[in-house]
Amino acid sequence: MPEKTFLINSQYGHSLSSDGSTFSMNLQPPLVLPKDSEPTISVLEATAWHTAENIKTGVNDVFKASFANVSSNAVQTMTFPPGIYNLTSLNLRLSHFLIDLGLDSQTLRFVGVQATSSLLLHATPDAASGNITVNFTDATMTMRSFLGFENNPSVTFTQKVAQQPITLLSSIQSSIMCLSAATDLILVVLIRKMGTVTQRQLL
């Protein structure tokens, strides 16, 4: 069966949807089908990089904590920008929030435990922070499910004389570990018909 290949690139298409999942492109030259042909379409190969945000605005982007020595123990709301986070980038953003509050960047951090697929919330209360409270029963702290802490109670980390770190063990959902630096979606489609085979690639 004869074959003909077309390279279709979304960069040169039109009517691109807001999420980039669909677009249109006019073939040059046009694809001509014989009058009585019966074409079929099949996917030969598809490669889709993970580009879906695992932290989304208004869905799971809010983490809350209160520090006894910061703003009279008022609850601090930390809203994470939407994006694709792994443990490193999650801690980096958390450290920015802590620094803005005048605290050490390591006052709170998340530690992954690969062997048990769990997450530790590691707290180091000091004179600047005082006791640290994280209320996991607060449904408005939307990151609690994403982090795997939705079934935990409110917890207070008490400042110790020796200032030894305190940890709270929790499960974590695998979505946090999904990360790819690539942002391309590649889809190869084979269009079969009498007299023509078309291969499409979406970049």
| Type of residue numbered 96 | H
Mean of all residue pLDDT scores within the chain: 76
The whole-number pLDDT of residue 189 equals 36
Q: With bands split at pLDDT 50, 70 and 90, how would you rate the model's confidence at 197?
A: very low
Could you give the CA distance from residue 96 to residue 105 in angstroms, rounded to a whole number? 7
In the predicted structure, residue 200 carries a pLDDT above the cut 90: no
Higher-pLDDT residue of 28 and 186 is 28
pLDDT in tens, 158-192: 877 655 666 655 443 333 333 333 333 333 333 33
Cis peptide before 29, with omega less than 30 degrees from 0?
yes
The candidate with the shortest Cα–Cα distance to 41, out of 193, 185, 196, 195, is 193
Measured between alpha carbons, how far is residue 167 from residues 16, 64, 160 in Å? 47, 17, 13
What mean pLDDT do residues 139-158 have?
88
**pTM for this model (two decimals):** 0.61
- Residue ranges per structural domain of the chain: 4-51+181-202, 62-177
Tell me what pLDDT residue 165 has.
64
DSSP string, 111-129: EEEGGGTEEEEEE---TTT
Q: Give the closest residue to 198 by CA, choosing from 27, 55, 15.
A: 27
